[in-house]
Amino acid sequence: MKQIADELKQAGIEKAWTDEPLANHTTWRIGGPADLLIQPKDKESLRTALQILHRHDIPWSVIGRGSNLLVRDRGIRGAVLKVTEGLSHCEFRGEEVCVGAGYSMIRLAMETGKMGLTGMEFAGGIPGTVGGAVYMNAGAHGSDLSRILIDAEILFESGDMKVLTNEELNFSYRTSLLQQQKGIVVEARFRLQQGDRKEIAATLAANKERRRQTQPLQMPCAGSVFRNPPGDHAGRLIEAAGLKGYRYGGAQVSEIHANFIVNRGGATAADVLTLIKHIQDTIRDKNGIDMHPEVLVVGEG
């Protein structure tokens, strides 16, 4: 992989590391090493990196800020493309906003609010990037990305760059086309509406305070672990089953919000996965409900 890293640097992509621990790049602070971690500086360097990987037949995957992600303890073979600072532009065009995939969703919610644009308030507590939010159709507070997205520019594995409309991205609850067809979100365009700055700021502040009181933000975690089953809430089911505070190794069901698993210190991916399976088995036995993880599990165990 050192040879590939050298080739990337010769192509102007300076940020390329071998055997990089992904625990340094995930909000859970968990994860084994990536054979090669690449952080492109812009759209063209992302395309160049993909071309080099394709030429050497190296498998690749993508991360943003590492939220909603569990990397297994043996890490990820091949290359990991980290799409963050290099693709973090934001441009307002009236009631539309065009945003790079690496832009923070929390920052985007704040910036649109400052512009007096409403529709993005739900995203004020989503810790990931725009690219990850498009991939997962991220949502909160009764709304999600599919309600405001116009289209997104996608770099596909073939090297083709295409703009896909909201309909073509085939959104549903926490899913999109990109979970079936491999591609990298490069840019997204949203349509918002004019609103009252004070009302938007008040909504963002209220949501922030609610998160502070109901989520374990002071500890390493990855956001909600399970999707809400139809007509119910994952956190309610887990708490009702008596699992709030349940611990395995360094991983624990949060004592603040039962649909969060926190890293108490030294937690491994194996600890988290054991805890996830115990929750699934318990809820299935007690309620006859299959609990489906919302977090993406990647890498080798």
Please determine, for residue 301, whether its predicted confidence score (pLDDT) is greater than 90: no
pLDDT of residue 258: 97
| Per-residue pLDDT tens over the stretch 288-298 | 999 999 999 99
pLDDT of residue 157: 84
Cα–Cα distances in angstroms (integers) from residue 179 to residues 121, 172, 175, in the given order: 25, 11, 7
pLDDT at 224: 93
Of 17, 29, 33, 25, which is closest to residue 83 (Cα–Cα)? Answer: 25
Residue 118 has pLDDT above 90, yes or no: yes
- The pLDDT score that the predictor gives to residue 92 is 97
Residue range 238-253: mean pLDDT, rounded: 98
Query: What's the token pair of residue 186?
Result: 């490069």
Give the pLDDT of residue 19. Answer: 97
pLDDT bucket at 86, cuts 50 / 70 / 90 = confident
Q: Which residue has the higher pLDDT, 85 or 289?
A: 289
Residues 42 and 155: their CA atoms lie apart, in Å, by: 13
**Can you give the pTM of this predicted structure?**
0.90
Write phi, then psi, for 264 (nearest 5 degrees).
Answer: -75, -10
Structure confidence at residue 158 as a pLDDT band (50, 70, 90): confident
Instruction: Provide the 8-state DSSP code for 210.
Output: H
For residue 222, how many other CB atoms are within 10 A of its CB? 25
**Mean predicted lDDT score pLDDT of the chain:** 95
Q: How confident is the model at residue 140 (pLDDT cuts 50, 70, 90)?
A: confident
Q: Assign 169 a pLDDT band (cuts: 50, 70, 90).
A: very high
**Which residues are marked as active site?**
174, 224, 294
What are the DSSP calls for the chain, one per residue?
-HHHHHHHHHTT---EEEEEEGGGGSTT----EEEEEE--SSHHHHHHHHHHHHHTT--EEEESS-TTEEE-TT-EEEEEEE-SGGG--EEEETTEEEEETTSBHHHHHHHHHHTTEES-GGGGG--SBHHHHHHHT-EETTEEGGGTEEEEEEEETTS-EEEEETTTTT-BTTB-GGGTS-EEEEEEEEE-EE--HHHHHHHHHHHHHHHHHHS-TTS---S--BPPPTTS-HHHHHHHTT-TT-EETTEEE-SS-TT-EEE-SS--HHHHHHHHHHHHHHHHHHH-----B-SEEES--
Model confidence over 191-237: pLDDT tens digits?
A: 999 999 999 999 999 988 888 888 998 999 999 999 999 999 999 99
| β-bridge pairing 33-38 and 76-82 | parallel
Query: In this structure, are residues 103 and 89 in contact, taking their beta carbons and an 8 Å threshold?
Result: yes
What whole-number distance in Å separates Cα of residue 263 and Cα of residue 9?
35
Beta strands in 192-250 (DSSP E): 193-194, 247-248
Give the closest residue to 188 by CA, choosing from 140, 143, 142, 129: 129
Q: Say if residue 186's pLDDT is above 90.
A: yes
User: What pLDDT shows up at residue 212?
Assistant: 86
Angle, vertex CA 100, rays to CA 97 and CA 106, nearest 5 = 75
pLDDT > 70 fraction of the chain, expressed in percent and rounded: 100
On the CB side of 22, how many CA atoms lie within 13 Å of its CA? 38
pLDDT at 77: 96
- Band of pLDDT at residue 113, cut at 50, 70 and 90: very high
Statement: residue 96 has pLDDT above 90: yes
